[in-house]
Amino acid sequence: MTVDEFLTEKAKKTERALAEHVEAWHDAPDILRDAVRYSLFAGGKRLRPALALGAAEIISGDDAVALPAACAIEMIHTYSLIHDDLPAMDNDDLRRGKPTLHKVHGEAIAILAGDALLTMAFDVLSQAKDLRVIQEVARAAGVGGMVGGQVLDLQSERKAISLDQLRHLHACKTGALIRVSVRCGALLAEANEEQFEALTRFGEHLGLAFQIADDILDVTGEEDLLGKPIGSDEAKQKSTYPALVGLDRARQLADEAANSAAEALSPFGPEADDFRALARFVVERHH
Amino acid sequence: MTVDEFLTEKAKKTERALAEHVEAWHDAPDILRDAVRYSLFAGGKRLRPALALGAAEIISGDDAVALPAACAIEMIHTYSLIHDDLPAMDNDDLRRGKPTLHKVHGEAIAILAGDALLTMAFDVLSQAKDLRVIQEVARAAGVGGMVGGQVLDLQSERKAISLDQLRHLHACKTGALIRVSVRCGALLAEANEEQFEALTRFGEHLGLAFQIADDILDVTGEEDLLGKPIGSDEAKQKSTYPALVGLDRARQLADEAANSAAEALSPFGPEADDFRALARFVVERHH
């Protein structure tokens, strides 16, 4: 199976389940469902669900047990993009080539659609019937994870920060949710301690590789593929890997992180080949 | 015990526990903790925690089992106030006599502090170790509850709506979280079916009485006590009970709802006296 086939298979399962969840919101105002659907089905790569499902599959050969967690984490990721794009935050007009939600439905509905996705993610997550997973996801998305990282990101605009600070910022803002995706899949498939630790390290290195690659794409990518303007980090005076260490060194760091991710999988055999390929994919992708 | 003593006792327990939760966010950026504390300790009545703790006490004689749920629900209530006050939503400058969070820390931090409270509420709630409670709270705060009600509220501004529509709007926007507070306390104290249903009905009638009284206070209250300008609903052309049925009839409806709340407690003896007094309190309060 190629990486594309792997991602497509996991994305299909996730999107079918996500559509069913939103379909079941019979008591939601129509505009809220429309707004949530607009952002939730905007063509994301579904990397986080693929990690949750893939981790469960590596451990138990079956990914079904991780599907609620995969959906919940994608809902949380989507809420974070909606709120990040708001005028008071990054003020972005485009996301994946489409107008951002607040451009379509206004700021109030965008704020509430984000709130709705975050809230309902925990309804979906409760279906996984595992309290550890709820706590893991809340903490990864919370003040010491994604939300905390977003605050650090705001605070570091127009400011010189060190490479260590940038690494910490990214570990919170994007790393925590990527890491927890893998951990939830492993937990739900009842990984043993060694497997759980190995997959956690894989998730940490993969998250770093993904973020450095993201920073590089913002400099070198093609707008058509990215679905947003090139150079937006620079325009917002955000600290990035290329800005801090130069493009060549950034590429080297991304490669190193991808290699470390693959190495973390050494306790596993061919069942982890999709994850090995994924580690290459995140640094070689074009969008 | 008077209602004031009851509320004060439950508020103290809740605030002590809330302070400990926020204190434990060692990995949160300082400004995020400051912003959360500013809104979380702004002198609310802690009605929802009192309902969760009180319900548990009625059932089992001990409220400790409901403390995580009480804290989580108050965090969710606080996040909803922060987001409601935003310029894109109600655009309020004052809340409980103090500048609203976005006036102090800016819109971006206010959005993120709300997101943080909502997210961390589920971390706190997971400590209750009961998946039913997580699902109950997510749904009450979600698209068929609080967030959905907020959308209905936005959609009904500058529009004539019927009394039925207003009742539905309030049942979602404020009723659902009040109702679930009681239900969580009852669930965690292992109420039997009859007790659970009785307390649920109490919560529903109490929520309605509370909201009608709130609408009345916006017309007749004193600014000093309310901590916000009088007549703000009218200025925003919001549908309210006094606007729809007149002040006298609104007072009558609030009384009826308070009486129905007290009647729902008939399966209980003196252990429910605090709740009976609370039903009177919500329609007779001055803020």
Distance separating alpha carbons of residues B3 and B210, to the nearest angstrom: 15
Q: Which of A146, A186, A208 is nearest to A51 (CA)?
A: A186
Q: Which residue has the higher pLDDT, A158 or A67?
A: A67
Crossing angle of helices A131-141/A146-156, nearest 10°? 10
Contact between chains at B135 and A129 (C-beta distance less than 8 A): no
Contact between chains at A134 and B122 (C-beta distance less than 8 A): yes
β pairing state of B98-99 and A98-99:
unpaired
Q: Which amino acid is at B249?
A: R
pLDDT attached to residue A225: 60
Contact between chains at A109 and B155 (C-beta distance less than 8 A): no
Contact between chains at A148 and B28 (C-beta distance less than 8 A): yes
pLDDT attached to residue B198: 98
Please compute the mean of the pLDDT values over residues B238-259 and round it to a whole number: 94
Mean pLDDT score of chain B: 94
Q: Is the pLDDT of residue B287 over 90?
A: no
pLDDT in tens, B150-181: 999 999 988 889 999 999 999 999 999 999 99
Q: Is the pLDDT of residue A238 over 90?
A: no
Contact between chains at A126 and B135 (C-beta distance less than 8 A): yes
How does residue B101 score in pLDDT terms, banded at 50, 70 and 90? very high
- Smallest Cβ distance to A143: which of B89, B120, B142? B120
Distance separating alpha carbons of residues A90 and A80, to the nearest angstrom: 12
Q: Which helix (H) or strand (E) holds A98?
A: strand A98-99
Q: Is the pLDDT of residue B51 over 70?
A: yes
Q: Is the pLDDT of residue B264 over 70?
A: yes
Contact between chains at B32 and A115 (C-beta distance less than 8 A): no
Contact between chains at A151 and B27 (C-beta distance less than 8 A): no
Q: What residues of B are in contact with residue A25 (Cβ under 8 Å)?
A: 143-144
pLDDT in tens, B130-148: 999 999 999 999 999 999 9
Q: What residues of B are in contact with residue A109 (Cβ under 8 Å)?
A: 151, 154
pLDDT attached to residue B226: 60
Q: Is the pLDDT of residue B227 over 80?
A: no
β pairing state of B98-99 and B94-95:
antiparallel
How does residue A224 score in pLDDT terms, banded at 50, 70 and 90? low
- Smallest Cβ distance to B123: which of A79, A142, A148? A142
Range in A153-162, A182-191, B187-196 the model is least confident about:
A153-162
- Smallest Cβ distance to B126: which of A31, A88, A135? A135
Q: Which of A148, A157, A100, A154 is nearest to B107 (CA)?
A: A154
How does residue B281 score in pLDDT terms, banded at 50, 70 and 90? very high
Most A CBs within 10 A among B22, B125, B126, B130, hence the mutation to make, goes to B126
| Encoded tokens for A153 | 């990101």
Query: pTM of the prediction?
Result: 0.96
Q: What residues of B are in contact with residue A26 (Cβ under 8 Å)?
A: 144
Contact between chains at A111 and B131 (C-beta distance less than 8 A): no
pLDDT in tens, A104-142: 999 999 999 999 999 999 999 999 999 999 999 999 999
CA B58, B174, B133, B192 torsion: positive or negative? Answer: positive
Cβ under 8 Å to A: B residues 100-129:
106-109, 111-112, 114-116, 118-120, 122-123, 125-126, 129
Contact between chains at B155 and A31 (C-beta distance less than 8 A): yes
Distance separating alpha carbons of residues B199 and B210, to the nearest angstrom: 16
Q: Is the pLDDT of residue A64 over 80?
A: yes
Judge whether A82 and A110 are in contact, CB under 8 Å: yes
DSSP state of A270: G
Side-chain-facing half-sphere of A5: CA atoms under 13 Å: 4
pLDDT attached to residue B229: 64
- Minimal Cα distance from B113: which residue of A? A147
CA distances in angstroms from A126 to A79, A183, B87, B286, listed in the order given: 18, 16, 33, 39
- Smallest Cβ distance to A144: which of B25, B135, B155? B25
pLDDT attached to residue A157: 84
pLDDT attached to residue A43: 87
Distance separating alpha carbons of residues B2 and A266, to the nearest angstrom: 65
We find that the CATH architecture of domain A3-282 is Orthogonal Bundle (1.10)
Q: Which residue has the higher pLDDT, A78 or B159?
A: A78
Q: Which of B263, B264, B243, B242 is nearest to B254 (CA)?
A: B242
Q: What residues of A are in contact with residue B115 (Cβ under 8 Å)?
A: 79, 83, 114-115, 118, 147
Cβ under 8 Å to A: B residues 83-102:
83, 86, 88-89
Please compute the mean of the pLDDT values over residues B77-87 and round it to a whole number: 98
pLDDT attached to residue A186: 98
Cβ under 8 Å to B: A residues 222-281:
none
Judge whether B101 and B113 are in contact, CB under 8 Å: yes
pLDDT attached to residue B221: 73
Most A CBs within 10 A among B112, B133, B135, B146, hence the mutation to make, goes to B112
Q: Which long-range contacts (CB under 8 A, 24 or more apart) does B189-198 make?
A: B189/B55, B189/B56, B189/B57, B189/B58, B189/B59, B189/B60, B189/B62, B189/B65, B189/B66, B190/B59, B190/B60, B191/B55, B191/B59, B194/B267, B195/B58, B195/B59, B195/B267, B195/B268, B198/B264, B198/B265, B198/B266, B198/B267, B198/B268
Percent of the residues in chain A that have a pLDDT greater than 70, as a whole number: 95
ipTM for this prediction:
0.96
Q: What residues of A are in contact with residue B139 (Cβ under 8 Å)?
A: 123
B161 lies within 8 A of chain A by CB? no
b/e code A114-145 from CB counts within 10 Å (16+ = b): bbbbbbbbbbbbbebebbebbbbbbbbbbbbb
pLDDT in tens, B17-40: 999 999 999 999 999 999 999 999
pLDDT attached to residue B219: 87
Distance separating alpha carbons of residues A111 and B80, to the nearest angstrom: 11
Q: What residues of A are in contact with residue B173 (Cβ under 8 Å)?
A: none
Pairs of residues, one from chain A and one from chain B, whose beta carbons lie less than 8 Å apart? 144
Mean pLDDT score of chain A: 94
Judge whether A110 and A130 are in contact, CB under 8 Å: no
Most B CBs within 10 A among A25, A33, A81, A115, hence the mutation to make, goes to A115
**3-class DSSP state of A95:** strand
How does residue B225 score in pLDDT terms, banded at 50, 70 and 90? low
How does residue B79 score in pLDDT terms, banded at 50, 70 and 90? very high
Judge whether B237 and B157 are in contact, CB under 8 Å: yes
pLDDT attached to residue A237: 73
pLDDT attached to residue B237: 73
Q: Which long-range contacts (CB under 8 A, 24 or more apart) does A249-254 make?
A: A250/A212, A250/A215, A250/A216, A251/A216, A253/A212, A254/A209, A254/A212, A254/A213, A254/A216, A254/A283
pLDDT attached to residue A69: 98
Mind telling me how many Å the CA of A135 is from chain B's nearest CA? 5
Q: Is the pLDDT of residue A260 over 90?
A: yes
Please compute the mean of the pLDDT values over residues B90-113 and round it to a whole number: 95
- Smallest Cβ distance to B147: which of A26, A119, A141? A119
How does residue A227 score in pLDDT terms, banded at 50, 70 and 90? low
Contact between chains at A31 and B141 (C-beta distance less than 8 A): no
Contact between chains at A131 and B135 (C-beta distance less than 8 A): no
Q: What residues of A are in contact with residue B126 (Cβ under 8 Å)?
A: 131, 134-135, 138
Distance separating alpha carbons of residues A16 and A193, to the nearest angstrom: 32
User: Hey, how many other C-beta atoms are within 10 angstroms of the C-beta on A188?
Assistant: 26
A141 lies within 8 A of chain B by CB? yes
